Amino acid sequence: MIILEDVHYSYDGVYTALRGISLQVDDGERLAVIGANGAGKTTMIKHMNGLLRPQNGRVILDGQDTKFMSVAEIARKVGLVFQNPDHQLFLDSVKEEVEFGLRNLGFTESEAEQRCQGTLASLGLGGFAERSPFTLSGGERKRVALASVLSTEPRFLALDEPTIGQDAHQKNRLAQMLAEMNKRGRTVVVVTHDIEFVIENFPRTVAMAEGQIIADGSTSMVLSNDEVIERCALAPPQMTLAARALRNVFPEVGQRLTLLSELEETIMGILGGA
């Protein structure tokens, strides 16, 4: 479990990124974090893995205040994938990038190689092992950064905008991999502007604005709130827009439809009652 208690953080004492954030993320959860640029999303997840420490308040990881834990200790439990992969990659080959973290965590050479191969294959990077990450496209580098963290299978995984630069096929692969990790008890936290990705894969959503949490609850509830969507500078989900159009004709249509299955069920109910 990760708990943030009244966390405040300012950069250089000038720009206040977090203004009293309190949040609990339970073991095995899938949580999405949304918000406009500058809302404090990335700053918050950097507190989860110890890259940043609260200036006021505290972060509790598995019952222990991270103030008394080293970055290395926290990193063994909480993996973070940066939005910009070039901030994470530094070795000469994709294989070296992925195996670096594994060897630092004590995996043998054969174990590291096996995990590396499996993770690269699952992300469509099986033929890239000997390539330099810096010869790859932005989307491919993003997947290499993902692989370097996913291969270690941390108990808590935080990803910052993982779908940027990925096509629909790669998004599906990512979703499947995250779902599989979640089934094995891993906690997944994703910062993203990709509303459809959130709807399809995350039961709980936290919305942030100006360094504060403005909504926290079921994804359907948060994403059907017009005020939240506006403050997060996001477009409403397509299913929500479709439901509102239907309500002009059929008042019984709910206002919180976000999934295609929900819309189909509503339409079938209308037709069946006709």
Which DSSP string do the residues of the chain spell out, in sequence order?
Answer: -EEEEEEEEEETTTEEEEEEEEEEE-TT-EEEEEE-TTSSHHHHHHHHTTSS--SEEEEEETTEEGGGS-HHHHHTTEEEE-SSGGGT--SSSHHHHHHHHHHHTT--HHHHHHHHHHHHHHTT-GGGTTS-GGGS-HHHHHHHHHHHHHTT--SEEEEESTTTT--HHHHHHHHHHHHHHHHTT-EEEEE-S-HHHHHHH-SEEEEEETTEEEEEEEHHHHHT-HHHHHHTT-PPPHHHHHHHHHHTT-TTS-S---SHHHHHHHHHHHHHT-
1-77+155-166+187-226: what fold?
Rossmann fold (3.40.50)
Q: Is the pLDDT of residue 262 over 90?
A: no
Interatomic CA distance for residues 45 and 158, integer angstroms: 7
Which of 255, 228, 231, 251 is closest to 241 using CA atoms? 255
**Average pLDDT along the chain:** 89
Q: Is the pLDDT of residue 259 over 80?
A: no
Confidence of residue 257 (pLDDT cuts 50, 70, 90): low
Half-sphere exposure (CA, 13 Å, Cβ side) for 224? 17
State residue 258's pLDDT score. 61
**What is this structure's pTM?**
0.84
pLDDT > 90 fraction of the chain, expressed in percent and rounded: 54
The answer to whether residues 206 and 192 touch, using CB atoms and an 8 Å cutoff, is: no
The winner for highest mean pLDDT among 45-59, 84-98, 131-145, 148-162 is 45-59
Confidence of residue 106 (pLDDT cuts 50, 70, 90): confident
Listed range (80-84, 176-180, 240-244) with the worst mean pLDDT: 240-244
The answer to whether residues 239 and 262 touch, using CB atoms and an 8 Å cutoff, is: yes
Q: Is the pLDDT of residue 30 over 90?
A: yes
Q: Is the pLDDT of residue 255 over 70?
A: no
**What confidence tens digit (pLDDT) does each residue in 229-245 have?**
999 998 888 777 777 77
Query: What radius of gyration, in Å, describes the C-alpha atoms of the chain?
Result: 20
The answer to whether residues 188 and 157 touch, using CB atoms and an 8 Å cutoff, is: yes
The answer to whether residues 78 and 61 touch, using CB atoms and an 8 Å cutoff, is: yes
Q: Is the pLDDT of residue 44 over 80?
A: yes
Strands 64-65 and 56-61: antiparallel
Q: Is the pLDDT of residue 92 over 80?
A: yes
Query: Token pair of 22, please?
Result: 């309190």
CATH 3.40.50.300 maps onto the chain at 1-77+155-166+187-226
State residue 174's pLDDT score. 87
Listed range (2-6, 31-35, 220-224, 261-265) with the worst mean pLDDT: 261-265
Q: What is the mean pLDDT of residues 111-139?
A: 90
In the numeric block, the tokens 């690269």 are attached to 120
Which of 68, 50, 49, 66 is closest to 58 using CA atoms? 66
State residue 193's pLDDT score. 93
Q: Is the pLDDT of residue 140 over 80?
A: yes
The answer to whether residues 199 and 188 touch, using CB atoms and an 8 Å cutoff, is: no
